[in-house]
Structures are given as structure tokens and as C-alpha cells.
């Protein structure tokens, strides 16, 4: 449950990105206004603050967007089902500059027939960028859904370099 979190909004080239933590681990990372953006409110226990962990997340994001860092590395504690957790761990194995498909992720987790549920799990990723769901493409290599919007997904893949030829 995404409540009782400390959060910090961070300016990025793609808009404000909000990181949230609890108990020394990131619980969330979203672009403002994206699909599944949580209802941030004091009534739900959300508190805007700058902690050491959130400062490090901001530092890493600045370095990533500045082209100085390719892999974000923070303690993560996303909340989801066991299946979702399995998919998100597999996503974290996809290196910067590379992509995968929903079908390949399904095979990677030992559930080759589950590419649709894998796609749904990718879409529900609550720690965008740190769990690099933007690196998942359709089986034919096409850009498909991204909770932050396809324009951001295209930008992120271009930024990471490998997909530049496909999306110029």
C-alpha cells in the first residue's frame, strides 16, 4: 500500500519525476500525471522531505539524464504480487541501451505463454526508470504502452542510445 511515504519531486528533461521511500528503500517513482500516479496527500501519510536516500535518487537521476550514468542503482521495495515482483526483477536485468520484449520476459521468468500478464505487470511497475519498464517492446519491436506516455518511452530509449535508428 502506497501510504506513509516520504517523497521528493525532481525536475527532469521529461517533466517532474516523483520518488518516494519508506524504511530505507524506494517504493515509487513516477512522472507527474502518468497513468497510475498515486494520490499524494498528507491524509494518506505522504510527507514531502529530502532524505539521504531521496537525495541519492535525485543525484542518480541527474547523472542518468546528463548521460553520466547508465544504470540506476538504489534499494528498491516495489509493492505487488509475486508474479509482478518476478517480472520487475527480470526487467532490472535488461541493461541500458538494450531492449527486450514481453514474450522474452515471459520466457525469462519461465512462463512463456504469459506474455499478456507480463505486459500487464510491466504496466503496473511503480518504480519507473529504476525498474526500467521503458526497455520492454512489443514482439515485433514496436513501441507499446508506457504509463509515462509513448513520447517519454521513445525519448528514454533514444537517450540510452541503441534505439536511436528506429525512432528518429
Q: Write out the three cell numbers for 152.
A: 517519454
Catalytic residue among 114, 121, 133, 157: 133
Which helix (DSSP H) or strand (DSSP E) does residue 31 occupy?
Answer: strand 25-31
CA–CA separation, 31 vs 78, rounded Å? 16
CA–CA separation, 148 vs 156, rounded Å? 11
Query: DSSP character for 112?
Result: T
Q: Write out the three cell numbers for 14.
A: 521529461
Q: Is 133 a catalytic residue?
A: yes
**57 CA to centre of own chain:** 13
Q: Write out the three cell numbers for 164.
A: 536511436
- Residues forming the active site: 133
Amino acid at each position: 500500500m502506497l501510504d506513509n511515504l516520504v517523497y521528493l519531486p525532481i525536475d527532469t528533461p521529461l517533466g517532474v519525476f516523483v520518488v518516494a521511500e519508506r524504511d530505507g528503500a524506494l517504493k515509487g517513482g513516477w512522472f507527474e500525471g502518468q497513468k497510475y500516479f498515486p494520490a499524494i496527500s498528507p491524509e494518506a501519510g505522504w510527507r514531502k522531505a529530502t532524505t539521504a536516500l531521496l537525495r541519492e535518487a535525485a543525484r542518480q537521476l541527474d547523472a542518468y539524464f546528463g548521460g553520466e550514468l547508465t544504470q540506476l542503482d538504489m534499494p528498491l521495495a516495489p509493492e505487488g504480487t509475486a508474479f509482478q515482483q518476478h517480472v520487475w526483477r527480470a526487467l532490472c536485468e535488461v541493461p541500458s541501451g538494450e531492449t527486450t520484449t514481453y514474450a522474452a520476459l515471459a520466457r525469462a521468468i519461465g512462463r512463456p505463454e504469459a506474455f499478456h500478464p507480463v505486459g500487464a505487470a510491466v504496466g503496473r511497475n511503480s518504480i519507473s526508470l529504476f525498474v526500467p519498464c521503458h526497455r520492454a517492446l512489443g514482439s515485433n519491436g514496436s513501441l507499446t504502452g508506457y504509463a509515462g506516455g509513448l513520447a517519454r518511452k521513445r525519448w528514454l530509449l533514444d537517450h540510452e542510445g541503441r534505439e536511436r535508428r528506429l525512432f528518429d
